[in-house]
Each structure stands twice: as structure tokens, then as C-alpha cells.
Amino acid sequence: MNRRLIAIGAEAVLYLEDWLGLIVLVKERVPKGYRRAEFDNYIRKLRTINEARAMIRARELGIPVPRIYDVDPVNMRIRMEYLNGIPLVRLLMNNSEDINDIIINYIRTMGNHIGILHRNGIVHGDPTPANVLIVGDKLYLIDFGLSEMLGRMPMTQDIRMLYKLALDLNVTLRSFEALRKDQSQFLFMEFLNGYKDAMGLELAGKVQAIISKIRKMVRYAVR
């Protein structure tokens, strides 16, 4: 096998490639015709570099993520470890019964992983069950394509930074609402249980309060 396309996303194409005798997953950001070429190249290069840096840093922090093998900022490609696992979103979509203890544990672990990122000044960008992969007995975070490294650890008085973290978690909550509307609050509270273990009660409480404000503003705006 030389190359096999496996997915086409809004930002990039994903394919498997035989690279130096190893089957790897390649994420390649393709040009966007609606953007000026210079700006498009800048955005794709920046996001490629940011994604690789965030994944490498996450791995240093002990969070399971795919290994990075090669970064090509000229062609906007990242070659990484190919993981053949089950997306957490599939379990939430297929489980029509009450949420079982296994899924609850996955949700808490997901929250803990995101909490570790946030505690170290990293915004995932799209922390949803679709970007959580279960491989064996490990839960991996994937797709750091919208990630941002804020450069410092959050402080309780740093409202701008906490707001960015809250926006990240609001994406999580919205994904739970889309998947399991009736159980979304329960799922999010279990997620927060894992998140608080990593972030600490004070910082997590600040972030949670900002999420509530964000959602109130949205409800007001759409009336």
C-alpha cells in the first residue's frame, strides 16, 4: 500500500501511507480557494505547526496522543502514528440504554485529559467525543487542528485566558447536547469531575462560571 484515503474533512484530508516501511496516518491541509493564496498558505502552515507542537507537548504531559513522526510545513503535512480504535462518539450514539459505568469512566478520563491541557495553557479547539479514540485500554485525544498554546498556566484573575478555556468546554457541552440531549448535563458533570481533578476546584469553578455566562448570552442573543 502506498497511499489510501480514509477521510476528507473541512480542514484537511487524512490518508494512510507507507512511509519508510511504516504505515502512518498523514494529515494534509489542502488549499482553500476562497482565501487569498498568501493568507491561505499562512493559515495552513500556522495550523500545521501549532497542531504538531500541541500534540508533542500533550504527550510530554502524559496524555495519550498519536506519536508525531514527521512535520512538513512546506506541504502542510503531519505524519503520525496510525491508531485503529473506536471513537467515543460511536459508543454514545450506539448506546440507546442508560449510560453505563464504562462510558462514564471514559467521559471522566476525557475530562481529565482536557484538564491537564488547560492547566498547562493548551486549548484543544474541538474537545468532543468524536476526537477521542479508545485503543485497547487507553483513551487517546486526537485532532489538535484548532489547538492553541497560550504560553502560560492559567491564573484565577486571568479572565481572558479563562474565557478561552470556557469556550473550549462549551464545545464539549454542545457536543453532548447534540448526541444525548436528555443526558447531556449528566455527561458534562461527569466530564467536569475528571476535569476538576486536573485543574483544581478553584480554577475549574471559574471556568464553569464563565461557561454559564456564555450560554446565557447566547440564549439572550437568539431570542
β-pairing verdict for 148-149 and 122-123:
antiparallel
Surface-to-core class of residue 104, CB atoms within 10 Å of its CB (0-12 exposed, 13-18 middle, 19+ buried): middle
Nearest to 73 by CA among 58, 97, 89, 53: 53
CA distance 10 to 12: 6
Question: How far is the C-alpha of 62 from the C-alpha of 154, rounded, in Å?
Answer: 19
3 state SS for 108-124: HHHHHHHHHHHHCCEEC
Q: Which of 126, 168, 182, 197 is catalytic?
A: 126
Please say whether the dihedral angle defined by the alpha carbons of residues 75, 79, 84 and 87, taken in this order, is positive or negative.
negative
Instruction: Pull the grid cell for residue 112.
Output: 481529565
* 40 catalytically annotated: no
**Cα distance between residue 63 and residue 139, in whole Å:** 9
Active site residues: 126
